[in-house]
Chain A
Amino acid sequence: ETGVTQSPTHLIKTRGQQVTLRCSSQSGHNTVSWYQQALGQGPQFIFQYYREEENGRGNFPPRFSGLQFPNYSSELNVNALELDDSALYLCASSPDRGGETQYFGPGTRLLVL
């Protein structure tokens, strides 16, 4: 059984640019959640997708957007990057919407210069 994978592992962008992060969910999982983990902090919920529809959003501005595809993989897009967007971005998949069944990927580390 393949676990949750994310790409790329590391990324460097400059302020104002746009970035797309990708997540492949675990087989059989229809729900994907994205979290932002700033250095030395706990992960903060960005949003969740269930069966290709957004199913909840945290306190993040609209320049953070996402997609979920029919195969339940997902993308996180961030426009107009700011320095404070530098963080580890975690994707978690689950077979339902419950948090107790979320399996996390290794993350994408984004540095904004």
Chain B
Amino acid sequence: GDSVTQMEGPVTLSEEAFLTINCTYTATGYPSLFWYVQYPGEGLQLLLKATKADDKGSNKGFEATYRKETTSFHLEKGSVQVSDSAVYFCALEKYDYKLSFGAGTTVTVRA
């Protein structure tokens, strides 16, 4: 079945450091790919998405490119802030409309 594997955490960084969270997927066909973020005490929020190969999703300084050849959708940010501390989830969706999530990566940014 469809699945998402993402980098295990926790990840601890200093402010202004570069962040990468790896995400790979297994799915037949052409899924849409997403990154969601969960801040402490809040619900999931869509961070960015890409719906076809080579698409780049971007938002709030975060970027991810849909790589079909490597079945990957790695999340990157060039300079993190303390406010980026959260749990990040990679997810995919196919025609059946359900989202399949990875296990999540906890990111802590220190001042």
Contacts and interface: CB of A to CB of B under 8 A. Distances in A.
Given A40-B103, A42-B89, A43-B89, A99 B43 contact: no
B84 interface: no
B75 to A, nearest CB: 14
B44 A43 contact: yes
Given A98-B93, A100-B32, A48 B98 contact: yes
A65 interface: no
Contacts of A72: none
A45 B43 contact: no
Interface residues of B, number: 24
Interface of B: 4, 32, 34, 36, 41-46, 49, 51, 89, 91, 93, 96-104
Contacts of B41: 106
A104 B97 contact: no
22 contacts: A33-B97, A35-B99, A40-B103, A40-B104, A41-B103, A48-B97, A55-B97, A56-B98, A90-B44, A92-B44, A99-B32, A99-B34, A99-B91, A99-B97, A99-B98, A100-B34, A100-B93, A102-B46, A104-B36, A104-B45, A106-B42, A106-B43
